[in-house]
């Protein structure tokens, strides 16, 4: 890791396996993790897998894996994001791996990634994709 391209941070995040990628979401941006049935939505943003429900509250399920959406409802692991309002946003995960300490964040933007996805570095030296959930909701769902 080139120390000139990252800034030190001291944070803890929830580590997820999404496809082949390891993804981190800061703990203060995570409400909880639930299993829900996600039903596809026609004409939704390409990253929106569909809609699920948690105690009668709709969940917008965001899939970062790049896999084609299933044409029918399916069970997903949804990492519910902190936010106000009657609709909950969630990132779909293949596996929830646990809490990971973070020590650095990339200062070099990657033009291939959306602005809500950056690189962070774990205490054990791994590079992870990092989700800024507030920016994700704004970019995919419009102004909060």
DSSP result, 60-118: EEE--S-PPPPSS-EEEEEEEEP--SSSEEEEEESEEEEEEEEEEEE-S--TTS-TTEE
Residues 6+ apart with CB under 8 A from 63: 47, 48, 49, 69, 92
What is the per-residue pLDDT across 53-70, written as a single tens digit (0 to 9) for each? 998 899 999 999 766 666
What is the rounded distance in angstroms from the CA atom of residue 80 to the CA atom of residue 91?
A: 7
Cα radius of gyration (the chain): 15
What pLDDT score was predicted for residue 5?
A: 75
pLDDT more than 90, % of the chain: 70
Model pLDDT for residues 76-100, shown as the tens digit of each residue: 999 999 988 889 999 999 999 999 9
Q: How far apart are CA 129 and CA 20, in angstroms?
A: 11
């Amino acid at each position: 890791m080139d120390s000139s391209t990252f800034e030190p941070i001291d944070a803890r995040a929830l580590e997820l396996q999404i496809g082949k990628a390891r993804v981190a979401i800061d703990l203060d941006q995570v409400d909880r993790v639930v299993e829900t049935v996600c039903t596809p939505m026609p004409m939704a943003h390409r990253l929106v897998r569909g809609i699920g429900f948690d105690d009668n509250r709709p969940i917008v399920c965001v899939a970062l894996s790049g896999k084609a959406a299933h044409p029918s409802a399916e069970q997903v692991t949804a990492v519910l994001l902190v936010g106000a309002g009657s609709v909950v946003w969630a990132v779909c995960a293949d596996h929830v791996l646990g809490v990971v300490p973070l020590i650095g964040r990339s200062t070099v933007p990657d033009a291939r990634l959306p602005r809500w996805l950056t690189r962070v570095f774990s205490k054990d030296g791994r590079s992870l994709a990092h989700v800024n959930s507030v920016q994700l909701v704004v970019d995919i769902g419009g102004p909060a």
